[in-house]
Structure 1
Amino acid sequence: MERIILLCMVSICLSAVQAQKFLFNQKWGPAGYKEWRGVNEETAMDKIIKTNELKATQIIDGTTTLREGDIAVSSGRPPRICFARSCLWSKSVDGHVYIAYNLSPEYNEMDTMLIKTGMANIEQGTCVRFVPRTHQRDYIDIQPKSGCWSYLGARGGRQTVSLQIPNCVQVGVVSHEFMHTLGFVHEQSRLDRDNYVTIMWPNISRDRLRNFEKFRTDTLDLPYDYGSILHFGKYAYSQRGEPTVLPKDNSNIQLGQTSSLSHIDRLKINRLYNCDDMDD
């Protein structure tokens, strides 16, 4: 009897191991999931994809969906892309762009510190300043909802930025979402992107092809930025762990950022908000 019990226990353990291998296998994992070769190679967008896809956060609620993986779009409003200056936050007479925010009490002290570090990441070398909301009509409401996402640009009134605990409360992810809040789409969505990167369409999960659309946005006369915090990583939405975005001419170019804005990201902010006097 003891031998039978022992054999049953071994069988159960082996079954559990096999099940785990199945659940986390690259081939069968959710779209965009990949066993990364090293944590330092993950871009901010890689982390967002991993969180949003594993949580199945493509439909936020009955009225809001995500496009490009983390840009919230309300179905009650006409589909909208922020075409550069069409959805800017107001600029103060002192030359700064003040964005009022409300921070959920669900965030602990460490969460709050990381979110504020992400804010400081945006503020450094730019005219943007995040300020706690007092009376402002237009503000962002930062909440630990399901997934990492933001609306694009200023919408008027209260607008949610979702930073789920703990996956989205990382400096690079926070900075990435706030760039969307300021009005920027992903870098490889630029209309001229095919001059700089090759989209490997056969390697992309069939139901995520729309995340690689191009949009006619203002490039602000700035060069294509492979290192933008808003750039997809090389394996974004890969269905079998193969590259989906490859730089032209030099496949060794690093795409995206892990935790920092690029120099060009900062130039984008200052040019979009007419703070060119802060350009380096």
Structure 2
Amino acid sequence: MLVFSWSLVTLLLVSSSWAEADVATLEDFSKELPVGQLLERANRDRTPDFDEPTLIGGDIAVKPGADRNADPCTSTGCLWLKNADGNVYIPYYIANHYSSREVAIITRGLESFSSVSCIRFRPYQNGDHEWLSIESKNGCYSFVGRQGGAQTVSLAQRGCLYHSTVQHELLHALGFNHEQTRSDRDSYIKVYWENIQDGMSYNFNIINTLNQGTPYDYNSVMQYEKYAFSKNNRPTMMPIPDPNVSFGQATQMSKNDIDRLNRLYKC
């Protein structure tokens, strides 16, 4: 009986170790998923609270009455203000419901901009009139560009805390839209409208974007992958003229993402 008990304990310990290993493997794999897949998965079946904004494009927050086909950076202006020293200091506040590990992921994403641009995210201070309020709301989302006051960037604890998703939402907050909605999209991407989920076709509408003289970037962290919002497991997007070009696989900002950020803010 004693031998059986020890065997049972051993079996349980081994099974537990396998389960933990499986979870670790899943987490490691998730970190390597393209950003579009992470965002779509996190926002799937999203049920917003009454005070949360409408989302378009999968993760772009819009205010009531906003023109969904307009780029706020070209229609009203959206840049954060530049300091006399040439840097752009953007205050942020991280809600206290995140764990220390989650805060570290968010902070790493914030700090990744300072080494490649003049963007400097700094903690909120008394007297700041506008700032990013980073919170775990329902899903991953951000407004496009500077809105004034407390500006929500939602990074839900369940599904949004990856380096790529943090960078993606911060680029929205800095003024950038998705790559597949660029004004010149149709020269580089063919959209298969018949494969898009019902009610999701507006996610692919072209808008009058500021492209900063940079080429279309299949490797942008703002580019979704070819099955985005598919209703039948068939592609919703394919690159043209070469359908074999890899795209939508980014796990961090590309060189073009960085170049256009520096051009927009004249870094």
Q: What is the CA-CA distance between 1:188 and the residue it aligns to?
A: 1.0
- Give CA deviations for 1:183-230 in whole Å, capped at 9, x if unaligned: 100011111111001001111112101110000112111111111000
| TM-score normalised to structure 1 length | 0.79
Q: 1:97 aligns with which of 70, 88, 91?
A: 88
Q: Output the aligned Cα RMSD.
A: 1.9
Q: Which amino acid in the other structure matches residue 71 of structure 2?
A: I
Q: Gaps spanning 5+ residues in structure 2: where?
A: 1-28
Q: What is the CA-CA distance between 1:39 and the residue it aligns to?
A: 5.1
Question: What is the aligned partner in structure 1 of residue 56 from structure 2?
Answer: 67
- Give CA deviations for 1:22-75 in whole Å, capped at 9, x if unaligned: xxxxxxxxxxxxxxxx75873212111111113245xx5357200111111111
- The alignment partner of 1:87 has SS state of coil
- The alignment partner of 2:72 has SS state of coil
Q: Which amino acid in the other structure matches residue 82 of structure 1?
A: P
Alignment of 1:195-234 (within 5 A): 195-234=187-226
**Bigger mean CA offset, 121-130 vs 187-196:** 121-130
**8 Å CA contact retained: 2:43, 2:139:** yes
- The alignment partner of 1:102 has SS state of strand
Task: Tell me the matched-pair count.
Answer: 236
**8 Å CA contact retained: 2:220, 2:250:** no
- Give CA deviations for 1:144-187 in whole Å, capped at 9, x if unaligned: 01100001100111111000003101110111000000010001
Q: Gaps spanning 5+ residues in structure 1: where?
A: 1-37, 276-280
How far apart, CA to CA, are the structure 2 residues paired with 1:131 and 1:63? 25
Q: What is the CA-CA distance between 1:81 and the residue it aligns to?
A: 2.7
Query: Given the alignment of the two structures, is residue 254 of structure 1 paired with residue 243 of structure 2, yes or no?
Result: no
**8 Å CA contact retained: 2:33, 2:251:** no
Query: Given the alignment of the two structures, is residue 43 of structure 1 paired with residue 34 of structure 2, yes or no?
Result: yes
- The alignment partner of 1:221 has SS state of coil
Question: What is the aligned partner in structure 2 of residue 34 from structure 1?
Answer: none
**CA 1:141–1:39 in structure 2 vs 1: closer, same or farther (change >3 Å)?**
closer
How far apart, CA to CA, are the structure 1 residues paired with 2:67 and 2:199? 22
Alignment of 1:141-220 (within 5 A): 141-220=133-212
**CA 1:77–1:247 in structure 2 vs 1: closer, same or farther (change >3 Å)?**
closer
Q: What is the CA-CA distance between 1:241 and the residue it aligns to?
A: 1.0
How far apart, CA to CA, are the structure 1 residues paired with 2:195 and 2:241? 20
**Bigger mean CA offset, 125-134 vs 42-51:** 42-51
Query: Given the alignment of the two structures, is residue 130 of structure 1 paired with residue 121 of structure 2, yes or no?
Result: yes
